[in-house]
Amino acid sequence: MKKNTYNILKGTFLVNDDSFKNWRFIIFISVLALIMIASSHSADKKVYKIARLNNEAKEMRSAFVDGRSKLMRLKMESDIANKMKEKGLSQSVIPPKKIKVKSQN
């Protein structure tokens, strides 16, 4: 046990005559580690992009709600009447009448 540990620390398993299979295994593990690191970075980029897009969607939703509330305030009859008074126009006191057109057929 002590001799095997010493040989591993010394690196003699890499220079023996049957070391080719050891080198293949080390290279295989190294390639797998690189692939794992690359996929982890790719997943992190996607998570950051999703978070950024969610923030943009929240901002746009907030702007939409704000614009809709401004529009509702502008469409109120009292607000329109006040703006028309500023221009010198007033509401009619006489209610509107319906005009019915009878067809000539």
CA 37 to CA 32: how far, in whole Å? 9
pLDDT digits (tens, 9 = 90+) for 27-80: 999 999 999 999 999 999 999 999 999 999 999 999 999 999 999 988 898 888
Q: Is the pTM of this model over 0.75?
A: no
* Residue 4 clears pLDDT 80, i.e. is over it: no
Q: What is the pLDDT of residue 18?
A: 74
Q: How far apart are CA 61 and CA 79, in angstroms?
A: 26
Residue 63: which H helix or E strand, with range?
A: helix 20-74
